[in-house]
Structure 1
Amino acid sequence: MLNWLKKYLASPRQLRQLGVLGLNERNLACISAHNPRSSFPSVDDKLLTKLLAEDYQIATPALLGTIRHQAEITRFEGYLPKQGGFVIKPAKGSGGKGILVIQYVSGNRYLKASGEWISREAVQRHLSNLISGLYSLGGHPDAAIIEKLIHSAKDFADFTFEGVPDIRVIIYQGYPVMAMMRLSTKDSDGKANLHQGAIGVGVDLTLGTAIQAVQHDRPVFIHPDTGSPLEKLRIQNWHYLLDLAARCYDMTGLGYLGADLVVDAEQGPLLLELNARPGLAIQMANGTGVKPRLQAIDQHRAELRGPAEVSEVRVKVAQQLFGKQVCSARQLNVE
């Protein structure tokens, strides 16, 4: 996960100086310590997340249908919109696995985000594998969610390839502590998944602007498919997006989680999904470690007097503590 940092830094001591959070420490000090097991189902099951978000008036992508049994697969087209694309995803998937993005339908042919056409039979096979548990946590039988396709806001048109960029925000005890935007590429098959070749761009918590970017664990400065300089990336309605992410703490009771957000061209900001075990690559995208920020929040909470802070106040506190971070590849000793 941190191969890029390890390659360009001289010693583990420098990693510690940057405050890099490692896998074991994340599991013990963050996930085990602050995430009650009883709250995991509301995050691991995307259908439950949608229902919970509805109760908390947090908008999510429109649900078109759910397929739970093999016998229902042949009727999947009954859930599809008359116009536009759709997305098929596992209810209990992780790491972006099993997500099929269809941009356009023509007869029995389906156009993927990558530009590849696939057959109706291929879609049915994908649904069959998904329901069988091929992409689910633990390999258990799963349900297929069919959602309306999100159309990316025009502001991001120059920063993504045939897909919708999403925003990952790490929330600790209700406070946003680090954020990045994941930009789809041709390598990632139009998906905003870093492991598949998407770009991770660190985002300043105050300004909503790009700090630095990585792809395949290496620094990048322009989008490989559009040619746009990544330093020009700016996210509108940034404070509102952070507040939406912070409210997910109140919704789930999880003290350490990743909130994945998108900005739809028509509906605006939406909660895509939540992750009770967010990865560590966000530190590479930001060029700094998250551990000092967790410690700063612990100190802030220890000094609080009176009632707990509401989400909007928590966002302002985080922006005051962690905003306007100026990082570059040079600061990580990259030649």
Structure 2
Amino acid sequence: MDWISPRRLNRIGMLNMNRRNVDYIARYNDRSSYPLVDNKLKTKLAVGEYDVKTPKLLQVVRQQHEISHFREMAEDLSGFAIKPAKGSGGKGITVITGRDGDDFIKASGARIPVAMLERHLTNILAGLYSLAGTPDVAIVEDLVESSPALAKYSFQGVPDIRIIVFQGYPVMAMLRLATKASDGKANLHQGAVGVGLDLGTGRSLNAVQFNRPITLHPDTGLALENIQIESWENMLEMAARCYEATGLGYMGVDLVVDAHQGPLLLELNARPGLAIQMANGCGLMPRLKAIEGLKRPHFSPRERAQFAMKSFSRL
């Protein structure tokens, strides 16, 4: 894999935080759209109208007295995910992958009694994980079972794909792989691996952990240079459709490849991070400028996805 230093990235169009905030987020993201993407439940309902699939919704817990229904709902379930609707950075998300008697089993293998899950729901409602500490809503979703082709590269957690979408065009993508350091979460700041993906093919380019180049996953030991994402064009089109669903001009679209349902949307981010450039070994600026310079924009999500595949492929 080719590696490009941060200094060289600056010379070839790396987008920095100030420019991202002023020239792209502030300019292209209407603040009226923020509550939609900052709330996972609102996101799920909005994108569903644009044929963007999400994990099945099992229960919404809005008030304390509804927590008692959780025990009944979960009685026959072996796997599910509990999420705060307004949480960020993966905080407050609890993933259950199995049962052992009356106890549930977390992805890490830890046992957790149902009473502890009920306390967790109470904490979510109280706003312990919400962006501003305000009262929140808990959502319970069907468990995502990652495609085996991708799951083998990740340590415990489900790998996801982050796609930056600008004015409805996918402009850059990376695969995020959980590690022991990231506690099974696909969070680059906590130590997950970021693998740059070629927009034209969905094949891996470079890989980084803590912004340093790597060629093997630190825990699975697998090489990261020949990964191929399934249903790639479909995923790019799904990401492009989120523009119509939200009206956001600059956002991060987080997708997973489910073993049974194919690509699913996990969440949207109106303030996506910039480490995706390190994972790809190239800057965002040339691609953003190319979209801004289009004289005749493409109107359908499919056309925009196909334009991106053709224009920004590196393989």
Any residues of structure 2 matched to 1:83-232 within 5 Å, and which? 83-232=77-226
Inter-partner Cα distance in structure 1 for 2:230 and 2:119: 39
Amino acid at match of 2:204: A
Query: Is the CA contact 2:127–2:134 (under 8 Å) kept in the aligned structure 1?
Result: yes
Q: Distance in 2 between matches of 1:206 and 1:308?
A: 17
Partner SS, residue 207 of structure 2: strand
Q: What does residue 32 of structure 2 align with?
A: 38
* Partners of 1:209 and 1:234 within 8 A in 2: yes
> Aligned residue pairs: how many?
313
- Consecutive unaligned residues in structure 2, runs of 5 or more: none
Offset, 1:276: 0.9
TM-score by length of 2: 0.94
Hey, what's the Cα distance between the residues in 2 that align with 1:41 and 1:49? Answer: 9
Q: Equivalent of 1:68, from 54, 62, 67?
A: 62
Cα distance in 1 for residues equivalent to 2:242 and 2:134: 26
Aligned to 2:245: 251
1:15 CA displacement = 4.3
Task: Kindly indicate whether the alpha-carbon contact (under 8 Å) linking 1:114 and 1:186 is maintained by their aligned counterparts in 2.
Answer: no
- For the pair 1:22 / 2:12, whether they are aligned, the reply is no
How far did residue 297 of structure 1 move? 0.8
Alpha-carbon distance, 1:186 to partner: 2.5
**Alignment match of 1:322 (pick from 300, 309, 312):** 312
Tell me the SS of whatever aligns to 1:239. helix
Q: Read off the aligned partner of 1:310 and give its amino acid letter.
A: S
Deviation at 1:49, TM superposition (A): 1.1
The range that moved more, 238-247 or 282-291, is: 282-291
Amino acid at match of 1:156: L
The corresponding residue for 2:236 is 242
Q: Which residue type is aligned with residue 128 of structure 1?
A: T
Identify unmatched segments of 5+ residues in structure 1: 326-335
1:41: how far off?
1.8
Distance 1:218 1:121, change over 3 A: farther
TM value normalised by structure 1: 0.88
For the residues of structure 2 that align with 1:230 and 1:181, how far apart are their CA atoms? Answer: 10
Supply the distance in 2 between the matched residues of 1:15 and 1:284 (Cα, whole angstroms): 8
Q: Is the 8 A contact 1:113 1:189 kept in 2?
A: no
SS of 2:162's equivalent in the other structure is: strand
The aligned counterpart of 2:257 is 263
- Does structure 1 retain, via aligned residues, the 8 Å contact 2:153–2:177? yes
CA root-mean-square deviation: 1.9
Q: Does 1:274 align with 2:264?
A: no
Instruction: State the distance in 2 between where 1:23 and 1:187 align.
Output: 25
Q: Which residue of 2 aligns with 1:312?
A: 302
Q: Which residue of 2 aligns with 1:332?
A: none
Moved over 4 A (4+): none
Q: CA deviation at 1:81?
A: 6.5
Once the two structures are TM-superposed, the CA of residue 308 in structure 1 deviates from its matched residue by 4.3
Q: Do 1:81 and 1:148's aligned partners in 2 also have CA atoms closer than 8 Å?
A: no
Q: Matches of 1:81 and 1:181 in 2, distance apart?
A: 34
Match in the other structure for 2:43: 49
1:289 Cα deviation from its structure 2 partner: 1.3
